[in-house]
Amino acid sequence: GLLRIDHVGVAVPDLDEAIDFYQRTFGMTCVHVEENEEQGVREAMMQVGPTREGGCVQLLAALRPDSAIAKFLDRSGPGVQQVAYTVADIDATCAALAERGVRLLYEAPKTGTAHSRINFVHPKDAGGVLVELVEPAKSS
C-alpha cells in the first residue's frame, strides 16, 4: 500500500528560475536535479523541511514540446501537475489498484528520479488528479 506522500509535482516554465524562487521565498533546499529523457523532463527535488521526512516539491520543466509537461503547461499553465506517493512494492500496489478498476499508464514501471521505479494512475480515474506511485531505489 501507500506509505506517505513522496512529492507534489509542479509544472514550471523555467526550472532554474523556479528553484531560485522556492529557495528564496519558501526556504526550501534543492537536494537533487536530474534530466529524464524518457519522461521529457528536467526536474528538481526541493526538500521542504530539515530532513527528507518533510517531503518534497518536485519542480518539473519540459525538455521538448511533445512532452507531458509541455502539454500540461499549454493546457493549464504552471501549477500542480501530480501528487506522488511512496510505495514499498510498486508491482503489488499497481496490481491492487488495477483490480480496483483504475487505469495505470504503464504496463510495467518506468525509471523515475534517483533510480526509483514509477507508474501513474490516469487522472480521469482518480478524480482529476494525476497520481504517481514511487518505489525508491533500495539504498545499500
Nearer to ligand V0V, 101 or 128 (CB): 128
Task: Check binding of 109 to ligand V0V (CB under 6 A).
Answer: no
Task: Mark the segment that binds ligand V0V (CB under 6 A) among 15-23, 25-33, 86-94, 122-130.
Answer: 122-130
The residue whose grid cell reads 533500495 is: 138
- Residue 118 within binding range of ligand V0V, rule CB under 6 A: yes
Count of residues in the chain: 140
Looking at residue 114, the DSSP 8-state letter turns out to be G
Which of left, alpha, beta for 77 (phi over 0: left; psi -120 to 50: alpha)?
A: left
Of residues 62 through 91, those in contact with ligand V0V by CB under 6 A are 68-69, 71-72, 75, 81-82, 84
CA distance 109 to 102: 16
Whose cell is 480496483? That residue is 100
User: Using CB under 6 A, which of 18, 46, 87, 113 touches ligand V0V?
Assistant: 113
Residue 82, SS3 per DSSP: strand
- HSE toward the beta carbon, residue 3, CA cutoff 13 A: 13
For ligand V0V, the closer CB: 24 or 97: 97
CB of 79 to ligand V0V, least distance (A): 9
How would you classify the pairing of strands 2-11 and 56-62? parallel
Residues that bind ligand V0V (CB under 6 A): 9, 36, 39, 41, 43, 58, 60, 68-69, 71-72, 75, 81-82, 84, 105, 112-113, 116, 118, 120, 123-124, 128, 130, 132
